[in-house]
Amino acid sequence: MSKSLLSIQSHVVHGYVGGKAAIFPLQCQGWEVDGINTVNFSNHTGYGSFKGTSLKKQEIEDIFEGISNIGVEYNAIISGYVPNEELIASIAAYVKFMKSSSSLLYLLDPVMGDQGYLYVDKTCISQYKKLLSTKIVDIITPNQFELELLCEKKVQTVDDLKWCVNHIHKTYGVKYVVVSSLTDLEGLQSDYIYCATSTASYDNSINLFKIPIIKSYFTGVGDLFSALLLDKVYSNLQSNSYREGDKGLLVHSVNQVLTIMTKTLKLTHSLGLKAFNNDKASRSSSKVGKINDGDSMKYFELKIIQSREFFSYEGKGEYFPLELDSILQ
């Protein structure tokens, strides 16, 4: 059975972030993917320099009108990096229109920043809240910092996390909340990264996944994570193994995604380190630079093509989700 998806996120010519990290894995899983590029950049901004342009409000609205005029329908929509509030408002209006006549699944990845650093205009925060207020979002995947921005509350303790997740469920009607990365929470171990999941029908019940940190520099990880999560949630719903709103659906889907992500990041690190060391041996080390410098960052772009065999993983997952309270005892 065919399935179609609209991807609205950034695009880079070189490297794998935004749509470049998301679209191919989705296509590997049988999705017909239409893509709207919110920005067209030469490369991701971590290189220290980039060139390119951002989509204008009228341009994205023209695109929405064009695909509506020819009757294009989607089973799912995913939105990621959006650089300004005007584009967010246009996306919200289009998704609301599409959901008024279909049961499409909408995943919002509210890409705004990380580790206390905001890399969109601050007006995007209030605009994302307006989008959420329309109650069109089925799945949301903020990191810890983005969750804090949306809830106007620092997440420092277990109770803080519970309050924020419950706020997203109750205030905005979001069925599935996945905090993609938790690194600064009282009681967590510093050599692990954590992922929290919560389903709206299970108030205050949060599962935590504990993932060993791979000591390397990666970009596009959140974009790939969200794309894989949308695929797994949709596929698991279609398999009739779970009903919509089942807690087990989200836990199982996230476990599958984290398993795929681990395989992908390990392969990326291994191949990147090998290529880096080969070049370092053949040239002066002064020309290569440190392993995390912009000059060497190209070695550690996600190995999306080489990881394609991982994307079809349908097992139970290699992680053991635990209730939030029990893991912090």
Predicted local confidence at residue 191, as pLDDT? 87
**Which token pair is 81?**
């990096």
Predicted local confidence at residue 327, as pLDDT? 62
Distance, in Å, from the CA atom of 168 to the CA atom of 84, rounded to the nearest integer, reads 22
- Burial (CB < 10 A; 0-12, 13-18, 19+), residue 45, is middle
Q: Which residues contact 252 (CB under 8 A, 6 or more apart)?
A: 232, 236, 242, 316, 317
Predicted local confidence at residue 189, as pLDDT? 84
How many CB atoms are closer than 10 A to CB 73?
A: 12
**Which token pair is 209?**
């996944």
Measured in degrees and rounded to the nearest 5, phi and psi for residue 145 equal -65, -40
Q: Give the 3-state secondary structure of 26-94.
A: HHHCCEEEEEEEEEEECCCHHHCCCCEEECCHHHHHHHHHHHHHCCCCCCEEEECCCCCHHHHHHHHHH
At 132-169, the pLDDT tens digits run 999 999 999 999 999 999 999 999 999 999 999 999 99
Predicted local confidence at residue 167, as pLDDT? 96
Helix (H/G/I), strand (E/B), else coil: 192:
strand
Cβ atoms of residues 31 and 2 within 8 Å: no
Distance, in Å, from the CA atom of 100 to the CA atom of 91, rounded to the nearest integer, reads 14
Q: Give the architecture-level CATH label for domain 3-327.
A: 3-Layer(aba) Sandwich (3.40)
At 9-64, the pLDDT tens digits run 999 999 999 999 999 999 999 999 999 999 999 998 888 889 999 999 999 999 99
Cβ atoms of residues 136 and 96 within 8 Å: yes
Closest by CA to 223, choosing from 8, 46, 57, 34, is 8
Predicted local confidence at residue 23, as pLDDT? 98
Query: Which segments of 134-200 does DSSP mark as H helices, in order?
Result: 144-151, 158-172
Question: Mind listing the pLDDT tens digit of every residue in the chain (329 residues)?
Answer: 689 999 999 999 999 999 999 999 999 999 999 999 999 999 988 888 899 999 999 999 999 999 999 999 999 999 999 999 999 999 999 999 999 999 999 999 999 999 889 989 999 999 999 999 999 999 999 999 999 999 999 999 999 999 999 999 999 999 999 999 998 888 888 889 999 999 998 666 899 999 999 888 889 999 999 999 999 999 999 987 888 778 899 999 999 999 999 999 999 999 988 888 888 777 654 444 444 455 567 888 999 999 999 999 999 999 998 887 766 55
Residue ranges of domains in the chain: 3-327
Predicted local confidence at residue 287, as pLDDT? 45
